[in-house]
Amino acid sequence: MRSIMVLNSKGGSGKSTLATNLASYYASQGKRVALVDFDPQSSSMEWLAARPSGRKSIIGVDASQQNFRISRNIDIAIYDTPAAVHGKALNAYLRRPQSIIIPILPSPMDMRAATPFIQKVLANGRVARKECRVALVANRCRENTNVYHQLSEFLKKVRKAPFISVLRETQNYNKAADRGLGIFELAPYLVRRDLDQWQPIIHWLNSKRSQPVNA
């Protein structure tokens, strides 16, 4: 089973948006997908509840409850995680995925919070041994602003974790989420620019660079 986690200890960084869009992408590719929601706020489960019955099926797993299980016939598990994850809880999460995406917003506060968090993730034993790979995504960005350029330069300087894409700030994500859909399920002419920005993320996830060295 392929396992992908969206992780950031900072709240409001767009973890659920990335997780739900990844789930809808892989479902649209014919994969059996489980969307595993660790967040007590249940944003991913609420998105799934709004999903139309005619769309590709995604299995929801409420991981905020104890003793949850993921079916063995799942091809890809997408993990959505809560904020304020540190210490033993962080290490417990890091035991699960093969690949981690860390979304970071273009704000001084988010960049300051990201620095020690990324260092803790990269220092984890599984990550250090390349049993789990990490990548960074700039999220909700307005291009050609000073803070966007600051975030871009900040992410480029992070060692051992590639900066793979920039996702713009757009209402397209809200429009899709309100309907229980992903950006890949909207009319292509409406989201062409957004789909282009997702291609580096999909390319990384489908490459060996995102998977354990012994995979």
Break the chain into its structural domains and give their ranges.
Answer: 2-209
C-alpha–C-alpha distance, residues 119 and 9, integer Å: 12
Tell me the C-alpha to C-alpha distance, in Å, between residue 10 and each of 34, 43, 87, 106, 180: 24, 15, 14, 13, 24
C-alpha atoms less than 13 angstroms from C-alpha of 178 in its C-beta half-sphere: 5
User: Quick one: pLDDT at residue 129?
Assistant: 95
pTM, full prediction: 0.95
User: Quick one: pLDDT at residue 213?
Assistant: 85
For the sheet with 163-168, list strands across it. 58-62, 33-37, 76-80, 2-6, 99-104, 133-141, 163-168
User: Quick one: pLDDT at residue 103?
Assistant: 97
- Residue 78 CB neighbours (<10 A): 29
The DSSP-derived string for the chain is -EEEEE--SSTTSSHHHHHHHHHHHHHHTT--EEEEE--TT-HHHHHHHTS-TTSPPEEEEETTSTT----TT-SEEEEE--SS--HHHHHHHHTS-SEEEEEE-SSHHHHHHHHHHHHHHHHSHHHHTTSSEEEEEEEEE-TTSHHHHHHHHHHHT-TTS-EEEEEE--THHHHHHHTT--GGGS-HHHHHHHHHHHHHHHHHHTSGGGS-TT-
Q: Which CATH architecture has domain 2-209?
A: 3-Layer(aba) Sandwich (3.40)
List of the chain residues with pLDDT < 50: none
User: Quick one: pLDDT at residue 143?
Assistant: 84
User: Quick one: pLDDT at residue 153?
Assistant: 92
C-alpha–C-alpha distance, residues 135 and 161, integer Å: 5
In this structure, are residues 171 and 182 in contact, taking their beta carbons and an 8 Å threshold? no
**What type of residue sits at position 19?**
A
Residue identified by tokens 């992070």 is: 158
Closest CA to 160 of 117, 201, 128: 128
Give the chain's length: 215
